Amino acid sequence: MRRYHLLIVCLITITSAFSQNKKQLLQNSLTAFDSYVQKAMQAWQVPGMSIAIVKDNEIVFTKGYGVREIGTDKKVDTKTYFTCASTTKAMTAVCMAILADQGKVQWTDPVTKYLPDFKLYDPLVTKELMIQDLFLHNTGVGNTDYLWGDNNLSQDEVLAKMQLVKPSYSFRSSFIYQNIFYLVAGKVIEKISGKTWDAFIKENIFDRLGMHHTKALYKYLDSDNRAIPHEIIDNKVTVVEKESADVIGPAGSVGSCADDIALWMKCMIDSSKCNGGRLVKPETWMYLLKPKTMVTEAEYYPTQLLTKPNFTTYAMGWFQQDYKGYKLNFHTGSLEGETAIHAQLPDKKFGIYIFGNLDHAELRHALMFKAIDLFELGGNTDWSTAFKNLYDSLKSERKKVFEASLPKQILNTKPSLPLNDYAGTYSDELFGTVKIVSENDQLKVVVNSVLNGTLSHFHFNTFQVIYTKKERTADYYTFQLDAAGKVSTLIINDITYKRK
């Protein structure tokens, strides 16, 4: 009996020691990661970040870094509101999955079963387009962000214009990132449920998970504790105007904070379990994460040049690749001056979510891989330095290509007509309206009633346009004359606008 008791005591001692060692290892990793974040933020010039980490299905870390707005002392905390941007897509996919579990929709249903008026350029694609296709960027329709960026169209107007967009590739043959089809998915959710997408996601995800500081649309934000977007302009971190994605809400309008997003991340890494139940059935959760679209190297993240994955795929709201022998599900989110990334290593029950307020600061990728190394897979690669060098090099190359593409100015020329003769309204059925006005011997422009700029003569009938949005690069407007010598068309970035 004494031996038995001694054995129990030994086992308890060993278990306690193991537990203490595990806690110490976790604490060491957290300390190292925290230090790494602070140092890396300086290298990338990121004003503020907010990070949440889930390990072994437990939230082990949430912290805010830096400031909400450069030049202020407004600190980022775990309640600071950041944009989720395109990491919203995985949430919208779960919304549809909830309806699928209820038997109200099937993934193979044609979209026109629920939206009979929705049309694409190709009638065959319109007919064959399934609910599942809305989530996979494989429809053949290229990027159409011009329908909501620098535009003031309603959701219904955006969808109506999709029938004017010519295919960029054949149906289901490739991958081109497409936001608008997630808006279509949101409209299907509304049609089936009788509730708007934002009401549905709040009730079925945010409320169920206790995400009380999370907003489906930016217009609902009522807190001053929010991150301000920044870009690097003329080598200086500069505050820029907030870009709202509300018009394409299901594709990227959700905003949240570290404390809340940790709850969503924990739920998804634990096969959608929450509060004693599940958001979706286990088999539905697996279906959402099953690879469905091949993503070619040219269309993937530049980080793969260093991580060298063997496969790159897309599931329903998730990019996927292998990393050190494990499957990695992740998705970035980007709006003007704002970033996010959500990454999950499902076999390890590990996840990390990173918010930032500097435009396309790919420190998010570096911290994602560094965290996976530190907490799960080992390795001492300095991903921040490696990715900084990579992206600086790519930026330099893109700058050279861009500068080479600019028109070469021919000096000592003048416009064919008086400035007033170029004033007028020019339009394209798909791309919208460009209004040129003459004020005090100067031409000014308003694009789709939202983007303003000033024209200066470049050469002949071409003018350079400087926009009031300081983050926008200049454009070149070329006016064409008809046989009578009057302005008939305006060409901007190879798009021809006809004069009304």
CA angle 214, 220, 226 (to 5 degrees): 60
What is the chain's alpha carbon radius of gyration, rounded to the nearest angstrom?
26
On the question of pLDDT at 299 being above 80, the answer is no
Give me the residue label for tokens 């599931």. Answer: 315
Q: Please report, for the chain, the start and end positions of each structural domain, with discontinuous segments joined by +.
A: 26-400, 419-499
On the question of pLDDT at 461 being above 80, the answer is yes
Closest listed residue to residue 470, CA positions, set 236, 244, 248: 236
How does DSSP classify residue 164?
G
CA 18 from chain centre, in angstroms, equals 41
Distance CA 228, CA 312 (A): 33
User: Could you read off the pLDDT of 132-148 as tens digits, one per residue?
Assistant: 999 999 999 999 999 99
CATH number of 419-499: 2.40.128.600
Q: Is the separation of the CB atoms in 40 and 366 below 8 Å? A: yes
Give me the residue label for tokens 């929010």. Answer: 226
Distance CA 433, CA 438 (A): 17
Q: How many CA atoms lie within 13 A of 172 on its CB side?
A: 10
Taking domain 26-400, whether its CATH number is 3.40.710.10 is answered by yes
Q: What is the mean pLDDT of residues 97-112?
A: 98
Q: What is the mean pLDDT of residues 463-471?
A: 95
If one counts every other C-beta atom within 10 angstroms of the C-beta of residue 398, the result is: 10
If one counts every other C-beta atom within 10 angstroms of the C-beta of residue 1, the result is: 5
On the question of pLDDT at 324 being above 70, the answer is yes
How does DSSP classify residue 31?
H
CB-based contacts of 272, cutoff 8 Å, min separation 6? 94, 278, 279, 280, 282, 285
Q: What is the mean pLDDT of residues 287-310?
A: 90
On the question of pLDDT at 377 being above 50, the answer is yes
